[in-house]
């Protein structure tokens, strides 16, 4: 089997210190989780969509919302210390067993970016595929030039050092399967960047963030 399929992965653990129950929080009639699922299902480039969670309520909501929940995330990958990349590698290992040799790319979609669109997903994926890049990520313009951002060399530097500065907004991460298996990391020397406007780049971590997202939806 040739590797040409794309796996969509939504990581949604149960714990959240700053905003309890965050992934199931309501935003204009749909939870953050459901908004991530809906965008992924609408995206043309994603062939299979799974949710990685340790929480039964999230698993039930994900299945009801149209996603697969084929496994329960191990407890050690559902802590504050667990990295997103460890969660990705765990899902990839499952996928390689379920559909050996099927997937060429993985698209990571965090529920905390509820205003991303299916088009944002497809554009980021196309950038990665068409350019043959190891990864592609979504970014947004930095409003404060003194903000530290990750440069193309992978090092932190003031945003003002990069001319028109951008920062990761967490909405879309695309990884080439072989890159994730061999080298790892969401940022590589050849990472492609999809620029998203501020109104679609809200990252929800607090009630204030949720209110800001609601205001953008109203406007």
Confidence of residue 99 (pLDDT cuts 50, 70, 90): very high
| C-alpha–C-alpha distance, residues 57 and 34, integer Å | 13
Query: What one-character-per-residue DSSP string does the chain give?
Result: --S-EEEEEEE--S--SSSTTGGG-EETTEEHHHHHHHHHHH-SS-SEEEEEBS-HHHHHHHHHHT-B--SBPPGGGSSSSS-HHHHHHHHHHHHHHHSTT-EEEEEE--TT-TT--HHHHHHHHHHHHHTT-SEEEEEEE-SSTTSEEE-TTS-EEEGGGGSS-EEEEEEEEEEEHHHHHHT--S--TT-EEEE--GGG-----SHHHHHHHHHHHH-
Mean pLDDT along residues 147-166: 71
Residue 171 dihedral angles phi and psi, to the nearest 5°: -80, -45
Considering the entire predicted model, what is its pTM? 0.91
Structure confidence by residue, pLDDT tens digits, 102-118: 999 999 999 999 999 99
CA-based nearest residue to 85, from 2, 183, 193: 183
Predicted pLDDT of residue 152:
65
Selected residue with higher pLDDT from 91 and 141 = 91
Confidence of residue 188 (pLDDT cuts 50, 70, 90): very high
Beta carbons of 114 and 32 less than 8 angstroms apart:
yes
Share above pLDDT 90 across residues of the chain, in percent, rounded to a whole number: 79
Predicted pLDDT of residue 162:
65
3 state SS for 182-212: HCCCCCCCCCEEEECCHHHCCCCCCHHHHHH
Q: Is 214 exposed, middle or buried (0-12, 13-18, 19+ CB in 10 A)?
A: middle
Domains of the chain, residue spans? 5-218
Predicted pLDDT of residue 167:
87
Structure confidence by residue, pLDDT tens digits, 41-96: 999 999 999 999 999 999 999 999 999 999 999 999 999 888 999 999 999 999 99
Confidence of residue 142 (pLDDT cuts 50, 70, 90): confident
**Cα torsion for 58, 53, 185, 100, to the nearest 10°?**
-120
Predicted pLDDT of residue 33:
98
Confidence of residue 4 (pLDDT cuts 50, 70, 90): very high
From the options 3.40.30.10, 3.90.550.10, 3.40.50.2000, 3.40.50.170, give the CATH code of 5-218.
3.90.550.10
The β-bridge partners of 156 are 150
């Amino acid at each position: 089997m040739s590797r040409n399929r794309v796996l969509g992965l939504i990581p949604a653990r149960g714990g959240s210190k700053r905003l309890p129950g965050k992934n199931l929080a309501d935003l204009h009639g749909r939870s953050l989780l459901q908004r991530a699922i809906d965008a992924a299902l609408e995206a043309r480039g994603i062939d299979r969509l799974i949710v990685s969670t340790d929480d039964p309520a999230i698993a039930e909501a994900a299945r009801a919302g149209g996603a697969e929940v084929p496994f329960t995330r191990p407890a050690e990958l559902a802590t504050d210390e667990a990295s997103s990349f460890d969660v990705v590698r765990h899902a990839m290992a499952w996928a390689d067993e379920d559909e050996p040799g099927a997937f060429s790319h993985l698209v990571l979609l965090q529920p905390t970016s509820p205003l991303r669109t299916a088009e944002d997903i497809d554009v980021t994926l196309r950038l990665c595929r068409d350019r043959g890049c190891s990864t592609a990520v979504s970014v947004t313009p930095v409003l404060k030039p003194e903000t530290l951002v990750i440069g193309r060399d992978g090092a932190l530097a003031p945003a003002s050092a990069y001319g028109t500065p951008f920062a990761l907004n967490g909405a879309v991460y695309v990884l080439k399967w072989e890159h994730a298996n061999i080298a790892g990391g969401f940022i590589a020397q050849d990472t492609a960047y999809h620029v998203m406007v501020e109104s679609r780049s809200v990252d929800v971590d607090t009630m204030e963030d949720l209110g800001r997202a609601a205001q953008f939806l109203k406007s």
